[in-house]
Amino acid sequence: MRVNVDQDRCCGSGMCVLTAPGVFDQRDTDGIVVLLAERPPEDAWRDVRDAESGCPSQAIEVTEE
Protein backbone atom coordinates (compact mmCIF):
# COMPACT_ATOMS: atom_id res chain seq x y z
CA MET A 1 0.00 0.00 0.00
CA ARG A 2 1.21 3.47 -0.90
CA VAL A 3 -0.29 6.65 0.62
CA ASN A 4 -0.30 10.08 -0.94
CA VAL A 5 -1.56 13.30 0.69
CA ASP A 6 -2.50 16.57 -0.95
CA GLN A 7 -1.65 19.41 1.44
CA ASP A 8 -3.41 21.95 -0.78
CA ARG A 9 -6.74 20.15 -0.42
CA CYS A 10 -6.38 19.45 3.33
CA CYS A 11 -8.78 21.39 5.56
CA GLY A 12 -7.01 20.44 8.81
CA SER A 13 -9.90 18.52 10.35
CA GLY A 14 -7.47 16.03 11.92
CA MET A 15 -9.71 13.06 11.17
CA CYS A 16 -6.74 11.14 9.72
CA VAL A 17 -4.64 11.66 12.87
CA LEU A 18 -7.54 10.41 14.94
CA THR A 19 -8.04 7.37 12.70
CA ALA A 20 -4.46 6.31 11.87
CA PRO A 21 -2.16 8.18 14.26
CA GLY A 22 1.04 6.37 13.28
CA VAL A 23 0.63 7.26 9.63
CA PHE A 24 -0.62 10.85 9.70
CA ASP A 25 0.26 13.91 11.73
CA GLN A 26 -0.45 17.64 11.51
CA ARG A 27 2.01 20.46 10.81
CA ASP A 28 2.52 22.63 13.90
CA THR A 29 2.20 25.93 12.05
CA ASP A 30 -1.17 25.35 10.40
CA GLY A 31 -2.55 21.90 11.28
CA ILE A 32 -2.22 20.69 7.69
CA VAL A 33 -1.68 16.95 7.15
CA VAL A 34 1.84 15.50 7.31
CA LEU A 35 2.45 11.98 6.03
CA LEU A 36 4.59 9.93 8.43
CA ALA A 37 4.63 6.67 6.50
CA GLU A 38 4.28 6.59 2.74
CA ARG A 39 4.26 2.79 2.91
CA PRO A 40 2.49 1.97 6.16
CA PRO A 41 2.85 -1.45 7.82
CA GLU A 42 0.15 -3.98 7.02
CA ASP A 43 -1.44 -3.80 10.47
CA ALA A 44 -2.29 -0.13 9.80
CA TRP A 45 -3.88 -0.68 6.38
CA ARG A 46 -7.43 -0.89 7.62
CA ASP A 47 -7.14 2.36 9.58
CA VAL A 48 -5.47 4.06 6.61
CA ARG A 49 -8.37 3.06 4.33
CA ASP A 50 -10.78 4.41 6.95
CA ALA A 51 -8.78 7.63 7.05
CA GLU A 52 -8.98 7.87 3.25
CA SER A 53 -12.77 7.45 3.17
CA GLY A 54 -13.27 9.61 6.28
CA CYS A 55 -11.16 12.52 5.04
CA PRO A 56 -13.66 15.35 4.54
CA SER A 57 -11.61 17.07 1.85
CA GLN A 58 -10.46 13.99 -0.09
CA ALA A 59 -6.83 14.89 0.56
CA ILE A 60 -5.72 11.27 1.10
CA GLU A 61 -5.19 8.82 -1.71
CA VAL A 62 -4.33 5.16 -1.17
CA THR A 63 -3.05 2.99 -3.99
CA GLU A 64 -2.55 -0.73 -3.73
CA GLU A 65 0.84 -1.62 -5.08
Partner 1 sequence: MTTAAHPSAPLTVPAARGGCPFDPPPAYEQARDEQALSRVQLWDGSTCWMVTRHADIRSVLRDQRFSADASRPGFPFLSAGRRALTTDLPTFIRMDDPAHARLRRMLTADFMIRKVAAMRPAVQAVADDLLDRMTAGPGRTADLVAEFALPLPSVVICLLLGVPYAEHAFFQECSSTMLRTDAPPEEVSGAQKRLLDFLTGLARAKRSAPDDDIISRLVAQGELDDEEIASMGRLLLVAGHETTANMTSLSVLAMLREPAQAERLRQAARQDAEGDGTALDTAVEELLRYLTVVHSGLSRVAVEDVEVGGTLVRAGEGVLCMLGTGNRDEAAFPDGDQLDLERPGARRHLAFGFGVHQCLGQPLARLELRVALPAVLDRLPGLRLAVPFEDLRFRHEMAVYGLHELPVAW
Instruction: For residue 41, state whether it binds partner 1 (rule: CB under 8 A).
Output: no
Asked if residue 51 lies in contact with residue 24, where contact means CB atoms within 8 angstroms, the answer is: yes
Is 4 or 58 the residue whose CB approaches partner 1 more closely?
Answer: 58
Q: Which of 3, 19, 23, 60 binds partner 1 (CB under 8 A)?
A: 19
Is 2 or 27 the residue whose CB approaches partner 1 more closely?
Answer: 27
Residue 49: phi and psi, rounded to 5, are: -65, -40
Nearest to 64 by CA among 51, 49, 54: 49
Is 44 or 57 the residue whose CB approaches partner 1 more closely?
Answer: 57
* Cα-based distances in Å from 4 to 10, 45, 51, 59: 12, 13, 12, 8
Q: Which residues bind partner 1 (CB under 8 A)?
A: 11-15, 17-19, 25-26, 28-32, 50, 54, 56-58
